[in-house]
Structure 1
Amino acid sequence: MGQSRRMTRTSLSRYPCPVARAVDVIGDPWSLLVLRDAIAGVRRFSDFKTRLGVSAKILTDRLTTLVEQGVLVRQATSPGKQRFEYELTEKGRELAPALIALMQWGERWTFEPGRSPVRLSVRETGEALAPVRLETASGREVEVSDLEMSATDAAPEITRQSYAALKARANRNKDAQS
């Protein structure tokens, strides 16, 4: 009794899947909330701790991981000081659309209409953001049902076989419906 057991999780960093590898970097709840707050402009450890209501140990662990993964950078507030700020890197800023999509999903599906406690808008104009949507490189909006995932030449053979089988099954189902 009295010993704390640190929860360990299986690393997904070796999976040949972009989603698995992204989840490996940012997929725990505290990391996502740290990123949410960093996008909102939080920079200091004490501010993260106060806003999140998380223990210093857990917060230190998540900030360290996000810095090690290149999502955040830790910078001294002034030379010779032991105070630091955390800022999003380019890698971290590129997570904003994913976090905003998650926020918009949460607003729609976990709150009563019009009852979200948070509003995201453009700082200078106050204009609300449009819902994140799926679109082609040319800007045409598409639905999830329009999408097809396929393996690239960089995928291991087992992944190529898996996607080929998935496509064959989808084609059989499509033919059966015709």
Structure 2
Amino acid sequence: MRRTRFDQWPCPIARTADLVGDWWTPLVMREAFAGRRRFEDFQRALKVPRAVLARRLDRLVDEGLLKKVAYEEHPPRYEYRLTDKGRAFWDVLAAMWRWGSDWLWGENGPPVILVDNETGREVRPLVVDENTGNRLAGRRLRLGRKQDSSPPS
């Protein structure tokens, strides 16, 4: 059965879901942020079937989140490195981390935490409005149409 594609919908959530809507893509990206670069390292960490991993990595390269860089010519071998677009995906993973930490464990929380490299303290991601710095609350937001910003003729 073919899945419905959302990559042309006018909604940012739909387009993002089209890219990350399978369970392996966010996990591959998590591993890329953890420093994994080589196919074998991703495969070993995730225990994902090789064919599935190859498809996910190809899609992430095609979408510009990762770039493929040769590190050996014979046989050809590649590393997968985060691009600027890929590094910006951290915000999505951080939001998933926070929600999962808050809602998918008991009161003791998950067995792993995010730690700031400089301070050694736990980090608890929070989604805020970049214009005001205020935490976003869904009940205060609505969807709206972007206003045409072109000057009148």
1:141 to partner: Cα distance? 3.1
Among 53, 71, 75, the residue aligned to 1:77: 71
- Structure 1 residue identity aligned to 2:85: K
Instruction: Structure 2 unaligned segments of length 5 or more: list them.
Output: 149-153
Q: How many residues align?
A: 148
Post-superposition, which runs of at least 4 consecutive aligned residues in structure 1 deviate over 3 A? 78-81
Among 84, 87, 91, the residue aligned to 1:90: 84
2:77 & 2:107 partners in 1: Cα distance? 41
The question of whether the paired residues in 2 share the 8 Å contact of 1:136 and 1:142 is answered with no
1:33 to partner: Cα distance? 0.7
SS in 2 for 1:33: helix
The question of whether the paired residues in 1 share the 8 Å contact of 2:5 and 2:18 is answered with yes
- Structure 1 residue identity aligned to 2:8: R
Structure with the larger helix share: 1
2:131 paired residue number: 137
Q: Which structure's CA Rg is the greater one?
A: 1
Identical residues among aligned pairs (%)? 37
Q: State the Cα deviation string for residues 26-55 of structure 1 (Å, max 9, x = none).
A: 221111110111111111111111111110
- Structure 2 residue identity aligned to 1:40: A
SS in 1 for 2:79: strand
1:138 to partner: Cα distance? 2.3
Judge which range, 89-98 or 76-85, deviates more: 76-85
2:19 pairs with 1:25: yes
1:66 & 1:151 partners in 2: Cα distance? 29
Give me the TM-score of the superposition, normalised by structure 1.
0.75
1:30 & 1:142 partners in 2: Cα distance? 28
2:6 pairs with 1:8: no
Query: Could you say what the CA RMSD is over the residues aligned between the two structures, in angstroms?
Result: 1.9
Instruction: Structure 1 unaligned segments of length 5 or more: list them.
Output: 1-6, 155-178
Q: State the Cα deviation string for residues 113-161 of structure 1 (Å, max 9, x = none).
A: 224122211223322223313335022334221112201247xxxxxxx
SS in 1 for 2:28: helix
2:42 paired residue number: 48
Structure with the larger strand share: 2
1:136 & 1:122 partners in 2: Cα distance? 21
Give me the TM-score of the superposition, normalised by structure 2.
0.86
